[in-house]
Amino acid sequence: MPTYPRNEQETVLTFDRETNEWTAYSCVPAHVRRIIAIAPDYSVLDHPESGEPLAVRATLTAKQVRIVTKPKPRELTDEQRAEIAARLRSKRPSE
């Protein structure tokens, strides 16, 4: 399947405060498929003779876009680690 070169692939999300909508553009194959799956109406900007669209643009509602931050790793004390290890050992089937 033809695609854009990796160094030219991009996904752009733009939020409009007045309409409370997102405009999504992508030429990253995985993101193109995801946008097509969730957007009821999208525009194909680049389409080869055969195969899937190479680039799409869609308008998404605020509920269709979610920005998630990476969770902070838990910082455990040595006592907490020992307690968790003991709890896991007690759940393990004994042989």
pLDDT digits (tens, 9 = 90+) for 10-26: 999 999 999 999 999 99
2 pLDDT band (50/70/90 cuts)?
Answer: confident
Q: How far apart are CA 15 and CA 21, in angstroms?
A: 6
Residue of 58, 22, 66, 18 lying closest to 41 (CA atoms): 58
In a domain, 80, yes or no: no
Mean pLDDT of 68-92: 92
In a domain, 78, yes or no: no
In a domain, 94, yes or no: no
In a domain, 76, yes or no: no
Is the pLDDT at 50 greater than 80, yes or no? no
What is the identity of the amino acid at 27?
C
Phi, psi (rounded to 5 degrees) for 57: -135, 140
Q: How many domains does the chain have?
A: 1
Is the pLDDT at 32 greater than 90, yes or no? yes
Is the pLDDT at 9 greater than 70, yes or no? yes
Domain range enclosing 33: 1-67
Q: How far apart are CA 1 and CA 48, in angstroms?
A: 9
Q: How far apart are CA 26 and CA 9, in angstroms?
A: 8
User: What's residue 23's pLDDT?
Assistant: 96
